Chains A and B, each alone.
Chain A
Amino acid sequence: MDNKLIVTAAPHITSVDSTQKIMQRVCIALVPTLIASVIIFGINSLILTAVTVAACVIFEYLYCKLVGREVAISDFSAVVTGMLLAFNLPATLPWWMAVVGAFIAIVIVKQLFGGLGYNFANPAIVGRIALAMGFASRMSTYGFPADATSTATPLASSEGIDYVTLLLGNHGGVLGETCALTLLLGGLYLIATKVISPTIPVTYLATVAVLSLVSGRDPIYQLLSGGLMLGAFFMATDYVTSPTTTKGKIVFGLGLGVITCAIRFLGTMNEGVSFAILLMNLLVPYIEILTRQDRLGIAKTKKKEGAAK
């Protein structure tokens, strides 16, 4: 009875890529940066990452148990959130603050809104912003290298840092943002394995580069410093909180670039990537509506009729 005629609704083409597989690939892509951060900031960064990931997974498990939702920790999304959140923290941060951030990311931003797929913004970004607002001084104290001396981030320093240092990440900053080289590597791996489409990172980085040129700043310096690489490749490309159509992705990337540059060049803060991503996350539903694709085979005139209604 194997050749029974099975009638199902669309979609008929399914992929072998499960959430779990995609999330595992993101984890793999983040590993080089983690290794780089351990080399730059010492073993503290590995401990902080482990604590954050563990806290995220535990909070996810506990909340799902509490409300009787299916426990979804095996899909690795909490692990990815934990890693991304840890990458946004300075290595010297007390570990309990990282746990607070994990609680905000997993319970408040993700689970209270319905779990994976329903979060209105990237959980790791909101966790980072809440910590940056709540523990402002701790979140901007960057120990470098492993000893207690703190140095300015490239965007805050006055004399500037050469490109090689920027690429290797041998300077102050949060755990996972400094080494542009490994971030690029991870981003290219994700693009090569088709986990993310290059549209958002490319438009984002291009917008920042163009705006830097226009305003008379060094575009390469702007691209390599701050959390731009981490944000562009790993945070802005989150499936849930980015547009689905190519047109929408371009709008999304443009918006990210404009907001980031506005905050960096005009605002009082040094870095604006996290706020840019949060703001654009909130606009995604509207971008989706405005860039909706025409259905295949529907004449243009009909669409106009529909729009006139």
Chain B
Amino acid sequence: MSSKNSKLKILTNGFLNENPVLRLVLGTCPTLATSTMASNGIGMGLAATFVLLCSNVVISALRKVIPDQVRIPCYITVIAGFVSVVQMLVKAFVPALDASLGVYLPLIVVNCIILGRAEMFASKNGIVDSALDGIGMGIGFTITLTIMGTIREILGSGTWMAGLGELIPALGKDFVIQVLPESIDPFTIMTSAPGGFFVFGVMMAAATWLTTRPKKAKAAAPAEAVEGGNV
């Protein structure tokens, strides 16, 4: 685990091969709920990435101190601490994002991705590796949410990146890209639950196809993906 190559692999693992949402099927509830708009996806993804990185580092540092029997409560305490930090920061600086993410922001505490990576990775690996894993998984989560949000927002509202102005004040509050002309009626079902499930399923199929199709020259990467999971 010390060579440069394996460090890079830990980082990029979460992008596609072990994408937390599409391959490990963790954290599906916030994924479906917050991917109605691309900007929501970015906000949620970044918040989760921050918590994931910090909690992975702390849990990895404490992995020899935490008794095995009470490890889950310890992880939750660490994660909850960072979630509170994120929540206060978002409330203070991006109140619009706090309003649109709603209950899903504090619910990062029970987000399966974060607890899952703490249990599966941070409790068994060193601080640097855990940090890389946290960043990689966080980026994978953010990318997935952004792509899902993009598809659902364009088809369901006809716009793209509405609300991004709240995240980046330089763009101005009313920043929005009108993708579909106003004359085309948006397919509003895409922003509600059925559309979310549909886009989720299609993306999951695409990710599975991309990772499991037979490789031409290279031997297939050993998949240590953990199947199943929920919430």
Interface, chain A (partner B; CB < 8 A) = 94, 97, 100, 108, 130, 133-138
Contacts and interface: CB of A to CB of B under 8 A. Distances in A.
12 contacts: A94-B185, A97-B185, A100-B187, A108-B198, A130-B194, A133-B189, A133-B192, A134-B189, A134-B190, A135-B185, A135-B187, A136-B188
Interface in B163-189: 185, 187-189
A138 B198 CA distance: 23
Interface of B: 185, 187-190, 192, 194, 198
B188 A133 contact: yes
Nearest to A100: B187
B187 to A, nearest CB: 4
A138 B189 contact: no
Chain A binding surface SS class: helix
A9 B185 CA distance: 55
Contacts of B198: 108
Contacts of A94: 185
A130 B185 contact: no
Residue in A100, A134, A136, A137 whose Cβ sees the most chain B Cβ within 10 Å: A134
Given A133-B188, A135-B188, 17 more contacts: A94-B185, A97-B185, A100-B187, A108-B198, A130-B189, A130-B194, A133-B189, A133-B192, A133-B194, A134-B187, A134-B188, A134-B189, A134-B190, A135-B185, A135-B187, A137-B185, A138-B185
Residue in B187, B190, B192 whose Cβ sees the most chain A Cβ within 10 Å: B187
Nearest to B190: A134
A133 B198 CA distance: 14
Nearest to B184: A96
Contacts of A108: 198
B186 to A, nearest CB: 8
Nearest to A94: B185
Contacts of B192: 133
A178 B165 CA distance: 49
Contacts of A138: 185
Contacts of A136: 188
Nearest to A108: B198
A191 to B, nearest CB: 35
Residue in B185, B190, B194 whose Cβ sees the most chain A Cβ within 10 Å: B185
A143 to B, nearest CB: 16
A15 to B, nearest CB: 38
Contacts of B190: 134
A97 B183 CA distance: 13
A137 B188 CA distance: 11
A97 B185 CA distance: 9
Residue in A130, A136, A138 whose Cβ sees the most chain B Cβ within 10 Å: A130
Contacts of A97: 185
Nearest to B156: A134
B208 to A, nearest CB: 14
Contacts of B189: 130, 133-134
A216 to B, nearest CB: 35
